[in-house]
Amino acid sequence: MTETTPRILPLPKEEWTDAARDVFAFWGEPNAREVGSVSNLVMVQAHHPKLALAYNVFGKHLLLDSTLPARPRELVVLRTSWRLKSAYEWHYHVGYALKIGVTLEEIAAIKEFPAGGDWNEQDHAVLTAVDELLQNNCLSDASWAKLTQHFDKQQIMDFIFTVGNYTMLSWTIAVLGVQLEDNVNKIGYDLKTETGDTPTTGERPGESKDWAANNAAKGKKV
């Protein structure tokens, strides 16, 4: 998958409707209803408010309310983002993973799996299952059995939907040409920022009332 130039730009202010403002405000950004979201993805989604709001309810479950624990969740998203070359999702989920204790060394090793990394049985089962789903559109009995050793039924269902969600989201970002925001210090696949700094932690949308401001402050290029 490759990045495209923007095909649908963030919704221009003259087209802001009440429904679009509902999309801006979904993740709890202060004043977003009045001034728009800091997220280019949200501002592009706002072209189709009905779809955006329906999708964001689903996405919020997987991002904030999933039964899948935080570590395997972020391993899923990072491996999917790497496999699909979604620079937008990679950038943000590196920060989210760092915040919950995944190390930079582990994130780097995600790219080299299965050859790279010193993974425990649960991590290995998760990464293997991601690859199988992306490659075969199904799971082998062996991979299913390994997942059931570590996760219950609801967690496995959340796992499958998480892989599918970030596949769909990566497609959307690539096809529509959603760009990283101008002020962020982009984290590349080499885990270096544009300014050469080491990546820092980030907050998931809706994780705190100040998530947008905190991410903007940490991500700005200087």
Of 215 and 32, the one with more pLDDT: 32
Residue type for position 157? M
Q: What is the CATH number of domain 69-217?
A: 1.20.1290.10
* pLDDT, position 3: 63
Which residues lie across from 187 on neighbouring strands?
A: 193
3-state secondary structure of 113: coil
Domains of the chain by residue range:
13-63, 69-217
Residue 196, by phi and psi: left (phi above 0), alpha (psi -120 to 50) or beta? left
* CA–CA distance, 19 with 48 (Å, rounded to integer): 9
The residues, ordered by sequence, that sit 6+ positions from 45 with a Cβ below 8 Å of its Cβ are 23, 51, 52, 55, 56
For residue 152, pLDDT over 80 is answered with yes
Predicted confidence (pLDDT) at residue 219 exceeds the cutoff of 80: no
| CA 52/CA 119 separation, integer angstroms | 36
Which structure tokens are listed for 43?
């501002």
Over range 195-203, report the average pLDDT: 93
Percent of the chain with pLDDT over 90: 89
Write down the H helix ranges in 61-195: 70-84, 87-99, 104-110, 121-136, 141-148, 153-176
Q: Which amino acid is at 144?
A: W
What confidence tens digit (pLDDT) does each residue in 69-124 have? Answer: 999 999 999 999 999 999 999 999 999 999 999 999 999 999 999 998 999 999 99
139 φ/ψ sector (left φ>0, alpha ψ -120 to 50, else beta): beta
List, for residues 33-76, the tens digit of each pLDDT value: 999 999 999 999 999 999 999 999 999 999 999 999 999 999 99
